[in-house]
Structure 1
Amino acid sequence: MQRRTLLEFGATWSLLQASAQAQDRKDERAAPLRVGLTAVILADQAAFLTRWSNYLGSRMGVPLVFVARESYQNILDLLFTDQIDAAWICGYPFVLHQSRLQLLATPLFHDKPFYQSYLIGQQGKRSLLSGWSDLKNQVLAYSDPLSNSGWLVAQAQLRAVGLTRRDLRRSFFAHGHRNVAEAVASGLAQAGCIDGYVWETMQLQKMAVVEQTDVLWRSDWYAFPPMVAKRNDNNPALRTLGDALQTMTTDAQGASLLRALNLTGFAKPDAALFEPIKALAASVNMIRT
């Protein structure tokens, strides 16, 4: 009798263990992939991110949630402490932390994985301010300390015209490209460093703030801000995310989401594209090569 009881207990325990393991696997499969990003320049940002996350999640077979933060540093902190799984960041923080990151996909703007940095001024003031050499004693708005287009490019250009940050009357971080445009349009800054893709997208959406600014200067072309993950993260959902992004052009819903982003697709990433940003950072002593 005791032997039978022990056998029944053992069988029950085995069933409970198997059930718990199955539940763990189910919970593991159901765990959402968390993707960090800074503000998307869209009037209906929350609604758009919900549509995009639902679309990607349905293609991946894994729930996906977007986690928005104010700065690239906030996003990197979350990524490196495993609070998010992937991130849409700028090329500058990618080259700073390249040894710790893997590329998942690179957006395509007008079918190319490149964008420019713009120097913008208040509309109608071109006669007073036409370029970098006119910025002495002026107020300059930057986007983010880890932005290629909104900070790094500006440091190289100021150096090229013989100016330092001390030659400016003042400079400040607006914490977002849209905020840079607003600062310039309102006169809070005489000039601003902004992502050209963002400025063009805001113009396409007929945002009043961008119509109150003029483009004074355009940079060379640089690799578009990529989607990344930690280099040592072997979560198979990350590869699935890259594939889902790269195939968005193949169906109507994906194509519609891309149009809303003013992108023409996502491409397989190529680390070599980011070498010019690395060289730019080295030229102003912001990175070792």
Structure 2
Amino acid sequence: MRIGLTPVILADQAAFLTRWAAYLEERCGVAVRFVARESYQPVLDLLLTQRVDAAWICGYPFVLHERDLSLLAVPSWADEPLYRSYLIRSRRLAPDIQGWHDLRDRVLAYSDPLSNSGWLVAQAQLSRAGLSAGDLRRSFFAHGHRNVAEAVAAGLAHAGSIDGYVWETMRLQGMGATDDTDVVWRSEEFGFPPLVTLRQPSHARVDALREALFAMPRNPEGRALLEALNLDGFVPGDASLFNSIRLQAMQIPDSGVQG
């Protein structure tokens, strides 16, 4: 069984994914392999062409392809399957930034063109602040939320649009980038990036994967893996969790989400 995902936050990603795969193999009764790609689009392509059985994506691509996808499980963080998007600033380069309205003629780092918190939210907030892409000095995709934090911390960008769960987890794990950045804005809550499968008749191995994920908090090794990810567990979730992303995308030209 193959599971697609973008790079996880952990510095020891390879070792962690090896442990998690072994844990799931024992409970699913089949070999498990994680297939990592640098951004959401390649992961989504793997799933839509049936080269992986499941994928950990973002709520935005789930909404984009909802007719083709089914929720497998939604991570729970701080006891809820929800998270917020953050705007962070460089403490050294831009201590005056207080919000989106201060980004005129500044450099803004995004994480991924298919990320809700790392792109979609930024487009909505820039518009509300009366700014467009042309009002920025420059913007760029840092290819991952951790990279956004590190780019802002290093002074490659004045500010960055980032997944709040990622920033908080980096802070919890003592990653230096959070020492050099400040959170200046937090969004409303959104459905946490889900694990999904293709919308088709359920398969026994997928059902086994779902149950293995749900049972992780009840197992010592499962709890250790969750603790490394700074998660409480996985829950069934519901498509309504992503309504706020859907409504936001509908207000952004060229988002691909129709009313």
What interval of TM-score do these two structures reach, taking the shorter chain for normalisation? over 0.9
Indicate yes or no: 2:139 matched with 1:171: yes
Number of equivalences: 257
Q: 1:56 offset after TM fit, Å? A: 1.0
Give the structure 2 partner of residue 253 of structure 1. Answer: 221
Give the structure 2 partner of residue 219 of structure 1. Answer: 187
Q: 1:242 offset after TM fit, Å? A: 1.0
Give the structure 1 partner of residue 30 of structure 2. Answer: 62
Query: What runs of 5+ residues in structure 1 fail to find an aligned partner?
Result: 1-32
Q: Could you tell me which of 114, 125, 128 is aligned with 1:157?
A: 125
Tell which has more relative contact order, 1 or 2 (C-alpha 8 A, sep 6+): 2
Indicate yes or no: 2:18 matched with 1:50: yes
Q: 1:235 offset after TM fit, Å? A: 2.2
Cα distance in 2, alignment partners of residues 123 and 238 from structure 1: 45
TM-score, normalising length: structure 1: 0.87
Q: 1:100 offset after TM fit, Å? A: 0.3
Q: 1:97 offset after TM fit, Å? A: 0.2
On the 8 A contact 2:92/2:155 being kept in 1, the answer is: no
Cα distance in 1, alignment partners of residues 223 and 123 from structure 2: 37
Q: 1:187 offset after TM fit, Å? A: 0.9
Give the structure 2 partner of residue 193 of structure 1. Answer: 161
Give the structure 1 partner of residue 202 of structure 2. Answer: 234
On the 8 A contact 1:126/1:216 being kept in 2, the answer is: no
* Helix, strand or coil at the partner of 1:219: strand
Indicate yes or no: 2:98 matched with 1:130: yes
Indicate yes or no: 2:10 matched with 1:35: no
Choose 1 or 2 for highest CA Rg: 1
Cα distance in 1, alignment partners of residues 50 and 28 from structure 2: 20
Q: 1:124 offset after TM fit, Å? A: 5.1
Query: Relative to total residues, which structure has the larger helix share, 1 or 2?
Result: 1
* Helix, strand or coil at the partner of 2:87: strand
Aligned ranges for residues 70-109 of structure 1 at < 5 Å?
70-109=38-77
TM-score, normalising length: structure 2: 0.97
- Deviations along 1:248-283, one digit per CA (max 9) or x if unpaired, are 011111011100000001001211111111001001
On the 8 A contact 1:118/1:195 being kept in 2, the answer is: yes
Cα distance in 1, alignment partners of residues 169 and 146 from structure 2: 10
Cα distance in 2, alignment partners of residues 200 and 172 from structure 1: 22
Aligned ranges for residues 258-277 of structure 1 at < 5 Å?
258-277=226-245
Q: 1:240 offset after TM fit, Å? A: 1.2
Q: 1:190 offset after TM fit, Å? A: 0.3
On the 8 A contact 1:90/1:147 being kept in 2, the answer is: yes
* Helix, strand or coil at the partner of 2:67: helix
Indicate the larger mover: 209-218 or 253-262. Answer: 209-218
Cα distance in 1, alignment partners of residues 50 and 219 from structure 2: 32
Give the structure 2 partner of residue 207 of structure 1. Answer: 175
Provide the aligned C-alpha RMSD in A: 1.0
Query: What runs of 5+ residues in structure 2 fail to find an aligned partner?
Result: none
Give the structure 2 partner of residue 117 of structure 1. Answer: 85
Q: Which amino acid aligns with 2:131?
A: L
On the 8 A contact 1:138/1:169 being kept in 2, the answer is: yes
